[in-house]
Chain A
Amino acid sequence: MELTGSILVLTGAFFLFSAGLGLLRMPDTFTRIQAGTKASTLGNILVLAGLGFYHPDWALKLLVVAYFVLMTNPLSSHALSRAAHAIRTPMAPSTMVDALREEGDRQGNGDVS
């Protein structure tokens, strides 16, 4: 039981580490946001699940926390990257397609939601 919890927490820590690594190594704002969000959401939830194995009586509260992380983390990253896109933050030179900008141009204004 505790071994399972420890392994889960360790896996979560690995994902959180890779999120930090992504923040350092990725070339531009959007890829950094993406690396930070995806890996840290999964890492957080894994750590919470591992804690749930350690303390089964906390399970409900941990579930609520995990739900909250799942709701807010991608959403805040979406808001951040949308704002960054709207003020035309430069992208990495290797970017091929900007689907959101093309969609906005097709509709005749600079911005769509």
Chain B
Amino acid sequence: MNYSLFITGSPTSSKACHTALDFAEAVVQNSTHTLSGVFFYEEAVSVANALAMPPRDECNIRDEWMQFAQKHSIPLYVCIAAALRRGELNEAEAKRHEVHHHNLASGFQLEGLGSLLSLTLESDRTVRFK
């Protein structure tokens, strides 16, 4: 079965991003399943903030997602409108809004909600984590 993940829960005030990563790892470890991609929306977009620095002895869920995505070539989409609303910009958006800094972590890409629709259409199941 081909899955996509839709994550909306905050990486700091919920465990949505953590349990979604557990699920994603289980999917790719099972040869009968595939994972098309992951879409972060609402508060979950904060997972892609490169400036978030959890204590060293705690889980860094952003880095864990980055490593997972790189290892398995899974795209990590972050809703562009939700990200901009919450102060997360890539270099192009920083230029467009004429600010000097950008903080979208590498491995994540800003996309519109149309990308969520594309993911959903190409998947047998879209699993939500909130």
The answer to whether A and B interact is no
